[in-house]
C-alpha cells in the first residue's frame, strides 16, 4: 500500500499582508458609516429628550396657567417676589432652576417628593436629589454623561448632576452695541428668571419663540469643537438656578464676545451641542427644531424674543 505524504498549504507572508490590508480598508470604509448611524441615533434621542421636556413645560402651563420661570430666587429679606409666591415658595434665600418644577411632569415624582422648594437647591436638604442623574436632562452625544458639577454655594463645596438643556432666557445687550440686535425691543424670552409668562403674552407666536436650547458639555469648557479646560464651569447642574443663560454671541474661535456666532462656538452660557452643524431647541409650541449654526445671529435673536413683534418664517 502506498502512503502519500501531502504537505499542508499555508499563507505566504505576502498573502497574509494582503488580507490584512483588505480588512483594514474595509474597516476604514465602514467606520465613518457606523459613526454616522450612531450620531444619528444620539441626535434622535436628544430630540426625544427635548420633546419630553417640551411636553412637561406645556403640561405645567396647562395646570398653572403659565410657564415656569427660567429660574426662581428669593431675597434674604423683604418682599418675596410674586413668581416665587405663586410657586409655593415662602422662604428667604432660596433658588431653583426651571427643571426642578418639571420633575412631576417627566415621571420623576419620587425626586419631586424628596425635593424641598423652601430650601436652597444647594442645601443639605436637597443633596440627594440634586446629585441624582436624570437621563432625559442629558444629551447622549455629549461626552461624559455621568459628569458631575462642583460648585461653591452657601459657603460650601457642593456637587450636582448635569443638564445639557438650559432655559434660553434672551440675549445680551452687548449684541445691540455690536449692531447684531435691535436695541428698541424687549430682549427677554419666555423662561425669564423670576417671571411667569402665559401663552397670550407670547406676542411673537409660540412657533416663533425659543424656550430651551442645548448648552451641552458643562462643567467642561468647550470652544469650537475642542475641550479647553475640564470641570471649570459651575452653572451646568440641572437643579442650579444658574442653569439658565442668555445668548452673548462669540467669535468663531469661541474666544471673544460679542460676536456673530450663536451656536457651537462656546458653551460658556451659549448654545452648544455635539451635533454637526447646529443644535436642538424647544419652541413655545412644544415642537423641537434643529437650528443650524449658519443662521444669521440677527434672526436667531428674533427667535428668542417673546414680544419683539418680529415674526420669523424661515429658520
The 10 Å CB-count burial string (b at 16+, else e) for 271-301 is bbbbbeebbbbbbbbbebbebebebebeebb
In angstroms, what is the C-alpha Rg of the chain?
24
**Residue 142, in any domain of the structure:** yes
Query: What are 27's three cell numbers?
Result: 474597516
Query: In sequence order, what are the beta bridge partners of 72?
Result: 96
The pLDDT value recorded for residue 132 is 96
How far is 220 from 201, CA to CA, in rounded Å?
36
Is residue 5 in some structural domain? no
At 17, is the pLDDT very low, low, confident or very high (cuts 50, 70, 90)?
confident
More confident residue, 278 or 30: 278
Which pLDDT band holds residue 33 (cuts at 50, 70, 90)?
Answer: low
CB 280, CB 266: distance < 8 Å: no
Q: How many CA atoms lie within 13 A of 105 on its CB side?
A: 23
Using CA atoms, how far apart are residues 200 and 101, in angstroms rounded to an integer?
A: 21
Question: Tens digits of per-residue pLDDT, 83-110?
Answer: 999 999 999 999 999 999 999 999 999 9
Q: How many structural domains is the chain composed of?
A: 1
Please give the pLDDT value at position 37: 60
* Structure confidence at residue 14 (pLDDT): 73
On whether residue 9 sits in a domain, the answer given is no
Rounded to the nearest 5°, which phi and psi values hold at 294?
-85, -10
CA 64 to the chain's CA centroid: 24
Does 4 map to a domain? Answer: no
297: cell is 445671529
Residue 157 phi, psi (nearest 5): -90, 125
What's the DSSP call for residue 203? Answer: T
Q: Which domain holds residue 175?
A: 15-315
Taking only the tens place, the pLDDT of each residue in 118-173 is 999 999 999 999 999 999 999 999 998 678 999 999 999 999 999 999 999 999 99
Within a domain: 3: no
- Residue 1 lies inside a defined structural domain of this protein: no
Amino acid at each position: 500500500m502506498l502512503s502519500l505524504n501531502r504537505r499542508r498549504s499555508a499563507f505566504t507572508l505576502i498573502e497574509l499582508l494582503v488580507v490584512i490590508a483588505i480588512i483594514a480598508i474595509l474597516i476604514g470604509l465602514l467606520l465613518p458609516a457606523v459613526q454616522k448611524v450612531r450620531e444619528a441615533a444620539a441626535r434622535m434621542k436628544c430630540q426625544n429628550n427635548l420633546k419630553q421636556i417640551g411636553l412637561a413645560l406645556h403640561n405645567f402651563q396647562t395646570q398653572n396657567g403659565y410657564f415656569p420661570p427660567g429660574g426662581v430666587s428669593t431675597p434674604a429679606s423683604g418682599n418675596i417676589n410674586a413668581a416665587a409666591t405663586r410657586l409655593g415658595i415662602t422662604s428667604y434665600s432660596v433658588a431653583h432652576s426651571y427643571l426642578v418644577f418639571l420633575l412631576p411632569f417627566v415621571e420623576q415624582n419620587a425626586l419631586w417628593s424628596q425635593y424641598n422648594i423652601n430650601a436652597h437647591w444647594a442645601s443639605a436638604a436637597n443633596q440627594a436629589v440634586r446629585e441624582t442623574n436624570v437621563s432625559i436632562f442629558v444629551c447622549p452625544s455629549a461626552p461624559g454623561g455621568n459628569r458631575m458639577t462642583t460648585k461653591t454655594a452657601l459657603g460650601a463645596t457642593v456637587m450636582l448632576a448635569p443638564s445639557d438643556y438650559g432655559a434660553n432666557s434672551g440675549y445680551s445687550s452687548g449684541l445691540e452695541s455690536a449692531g447684531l440686535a435691535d436695541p428698541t425691543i424687549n430682549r427677554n424670552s419666555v423662561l425669564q428668571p423670576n417671571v411667569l409668562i402665559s401663552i397670550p403674552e407670547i406676542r411673537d407666536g409660540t412657533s416663533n419663540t425659543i424656550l430651551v436650547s442645548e448648552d451641552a458639555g458643562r462643567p467642561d469648557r468647550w470652544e469650537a469643537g475642542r475641550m479647553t479646560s475640564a470641570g471649570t464651569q459651575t452653572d451646568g447642574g440641572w437643579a442650579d438656578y444658574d442653569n439658565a443663560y442668555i445668548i452673548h454671541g462669540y467669535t468663531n474661535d469661541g474666544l471673544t464676545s460679542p460676536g456673530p456666532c450663536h451656536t457651537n462656538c462656546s458653551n460658556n452660557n451659549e448654545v452648544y451641542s455635539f451635533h454637526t452643524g447646529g443644535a436642538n431647541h424647544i419652541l413655545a409650541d412644544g415642537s423641537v427644531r434643529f437650528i443650524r449654526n449658519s443662521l444669521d445671529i440677527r434672526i436667531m435673536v428674533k427667535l428668542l424674543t417673546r414680544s419683539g413683534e418680529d415674526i420669523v418664517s424661515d429658520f
